[in-house]
Structure 1
Amino acid sequence: MAISDIKEYAHLSSAEIEALRDELDSIRREITASLGAADAAYIRRTIAFQRVLDTAARLLIFGSRTAAGWLLGATALAAAKSIENMEIGHNVSHGQWDWMNDPEIHSSNWEWDMVGLSSQWRYSHNYRHHVFNNVVGMDDDLGFGVIRITRDQPWQPNHLLQPLRNLLLAATFEWGIALHGLHSETARTHSDAERTSPARSLIGKIARQTGKDYLLFPAMSGPRWRQTLKANIVANALRNGWAYMVIFCGHFPDGAEKFTLAELEHEKRAEWYLRQMLGTANFRAGKVMAFMSGNLCYQIEHHLFPDLPSNRYAEISTKVRAVCEKHDLPYTTGSLAKQYLLVLRTVHKLALPDRFLIATSDDAPETASELRFRPAGDQPVGAARIGLRTALRTRHVTPRGIHPFTRGDRHG
């Protein structure tokens, strides 16, 4: 099933994993030492640009008398909401800009423009997800409680509906995140009173957010309130769909591995780094798409260094790739379309009971463990030692039954 011995799966010794940690720590120190005025100017420009774009979009929606103008305004508003949600809200809430000591751009103060509460999200995401990334039974983001994304999650009859659930989650992603955050927040409480407080806080945020989007702005538009209301609905739906796609493509395509609770028992910082590298995936993006995704096209780098500023992830990625090359580890990436198609394949395939699936539970594209390399071990007798990336590549090109110690290449 999921990986329970990451050293065996990664074809690395304890000493090699410690060396990997030293190299990644060195990257962190280098980037942290270089943070300064240019980075601070970047986030301030981004916030200013987002606010100007939001205002311009709303004016265009209000002033346009054509369908094309309205559509352009709604699309611009969706872009502004996406930037606020991902490049600003998500990253500020990770503490990426706390080093500036600017109270406006601080993780403890930022409240983003969606129905979920930032404070509840920070616990469910920054702690439950990032610390325990893709650990079955600990990471609540693994399918968000509604999608079976690994065979380690037992099949139930309601999973037959998950293709429809997937579409609904994409369209209403902000609501899913809000309820997800509430679930994580209430799960750590011990009394009814403690559980009631987070629910009341979320209800208050929902009232404020929906009141702003669906009452205040339409009312301010006077006779054109219908156009404004429809534009807000469309913009929120587009933002939700884009955020869903970015998040799913970073966590659920082939190559984003899953782990058992046993892996946590003796996990140190070195193994944690390795789990983040093996449990996430990137997608290729130019500067505009990277910006619109909150630079989460670099999900591997984000999980290694979640509190480093997102504008540095492109730079960091070249260094992380070099580390992967050195240790013969896969660097899982691909086009956005490819990664999303792999996600969709998993969502639809795992809607079915396991008896209808062909690959084993230790050697399937979406579910793997160190057992996929047994009993042959790291290499055949007399061969030079190989690493994980080479093992995966060789298994892909070699017919099964000849060299059971290898599998398909996910590099690039």
Structure 2
Amino acid sequence: MDGQTGRPGHGSEFAELSALVKEAGLFRRRPGHYLVRGGIALLAFGGAWALLALVAAGWWQLGTAALLAVAYTQLSFLGHDAGHKQIFRGRRANDAAGTALAALVGLSYGWWVGKHTRHHANPNLEDSDPDIDIPALAFSTRQGRAKAGFLRWMAKYQAFLFFPLLLLEGVDLHWSGIKAVRHGGTKSPRLDAVLLAVHVAAYLTAVFLLLPPGIAVVFIVVHHAAWGVYMGCSFAPNHKAMPHLEPGHRLDFLRRQVLTSHNVRGGRWMTYALGGLNYQIEHHLFPSIPMATLGRAQPLVRDFCLARGISYSQGGLFRTYADVLRHLHQVGSPLRTASRAVNGAQ
């Protein structure tokens, strides 16, 4: 391991583990899996719009909004896999697929890839991991103390606000992409700008043409709220209650990725529901392994880590959410204590 760059060296433990995973054939692409999975996601996406267009308008169409939210999330998972070169061997084909998938759900693929690449390189590293740089939340005592005003109040009670905040995640994803395009934060700002504009125009035109104005507004709210909750609940278990790293840490690549990541138990259905993100440890160690083979990599990685005394975190879905909320509540505790002390002094 190169201590300066954090990249795994040829004689490192990570290289040994990587050889085991490669020998098991887990890096091979799974075109059949992605053909089926992509077909189901596109069928759900097209089916939702067909229901909206062909069936009488009414409040029951809010169920269609929920179906569309599921389709958006599954298409986003596929875009995530394309960004990691899991679908095709070459970068160009994966980027083309990722760009098309992002366009369907109104995201900037270039913005997301850049952000996600920084996260993978620096998981839970303060000041470097964009996924823990969220104004409305504090994931460490240090972050909590840095909050001021209304954001400080939110940090005090963030465990109670966490799931309500996820209702806004879908809108935030759209807005973050738009901001990145405006400020030149993507590799192809013109292409991203065109695709985002076409998506917004087509989406709003279709919804307001097919539904009465009042129902259309509620449809948009329900769709984006459900999408945000589904996306947020898929990503939240991965790192949020895990150790945070300080700048200048000396952990090698293997330990940096394993110690900051958490797996969710649940088998094949959980894997599909969370897009493979339930195998977060294996995904962070080997981002290009297709989602379909992460489950086979899991026992190899787990046994390798346990044999070397490396903590390997995993748990059930609801217990994991409870751990995330408990962590957020503990981070907000010093702020609540300080607030009570100030109020008592007055």
Residue by residue, what CA displacement relative to the aligned partner does 1:274-302 show, whole Å, maximum 9, x if unpaired?
11000011112232332121110111111
CA distance in 2, matches of 1:70, 1:180: 28
Q: Does 1:35 align with 2:28?
A: yes
CA distance in 1, matches of 2:207, 2:54: 14
Q: Which residue does 1:243 correspond to in 2?
A: 231
CA distance in 2, matches of 1:56, 1:201: 27
Q: Which residue does 1:297 correspond to in 2?
A: 278
CA distance in 2, matches of 1:92, 1:100: 10
Distance change in 2, residues 1:354/1:172 (3 Å): closer
Equivalent residues of 2:255, 2:310 under 8 A apart: no
Equivalent residues of 2:75, 2:101 under 8 A apart: no
CA distance in 2, matches of 1:327, 1:234: 47
Distance change in 2, residues 1:141/1:211 (3 Å): same
1:338 to 314, 319, 324: 319
Shift of 1:25: 1.3
Q: Does 1:120 align with 2:86?
A: no
Shift of 1:203: 5.9
Q: Which residue does 1:22 correspond to in 2?
A: 15
Shift of 1:81: 1.4
User: Counterparts of 1:81-100 in structure 2 under 5 Å?
Assistant: 81-86=72-77, 88-99=78-89
Q: CA RMSD in A?
A: 3.6
Counterpart residue identity of residue 148, structure 1: A
2:138 to 143, 148, 151: 148
CA distance in 2, matches of 1:352, 1:59: 49
User: Counterparts of 1:128-147 in structure 2 under 5 Å?
Assistant: 128-147=118-137
Q: Does 1:348 align with 2:325?
A: no
1:211 to 196, 201, 218: 201
Q: Which residue does 2:166 correspond to in 1?
A: 170
Counterpart residue identity of residue 48, structure 2: A
Distance change in 2, residues 1:122/1:132 (3 Å): same
CA distance in 1, matches of 2:246, 2:91: 38
Q: Does 1:257 align with 2:247?
A: no
Shift of 1:182: 7.2
Q: Which residue does 1:400 correspond to in 2?
A: none
Distance change in 2, residues 1:289/1:60 (3 Å): farther
Counterpart residue identity of residue 323, structure 1: F
Q: Which residue does 2:40 correspond to in 1?
A: 49
Aligned pair count? 325
Equivalent residues of 1:104, 1:110 under 8 A apart: no
Identity %: 19
Equivalent residues of 2:58, 2:215 under 8 A apart: no
Equivalent residues of 2:127, 2:133 under 8 A apart: no
User: Counterparts of 1:53-64 in structure 2 under 5 Å?
Assistant: 53-64=44-55
The answer to which structure has the higher helix fraction is: 2
CA distance in 2, matches of 1:69, 1:104: 37
In terms of mean alpha carbon deviation, does 224-233 or 22-31 score higher? 224-233
Shift of 1:144: 2.6
Equivalent residues of 1:92, 1:110 under 8 A apart: no
Equivalent residues of 2:261, 2:281 under 8 A apart: yes
1:277 to 244, 248, 258: 258
Partner SS state of residue 299, structure 1: helix
Stretches of structure 1 that go unaligned for 5 or more consecutive residues are: 6-14, 187-191, 358-412
Distance change in 2, residues 1:93/1:195 (3 Å): closer
Q: Structure 2 length normalisation: TM-score?
A: 0.79
Structure label with greater radius of gyration: 1
CA distance in 2, matches of 1:103, 1:34: 17
Shift of 1:32: 5.2
Q: Does 1:159 align with 2:116?
A: no
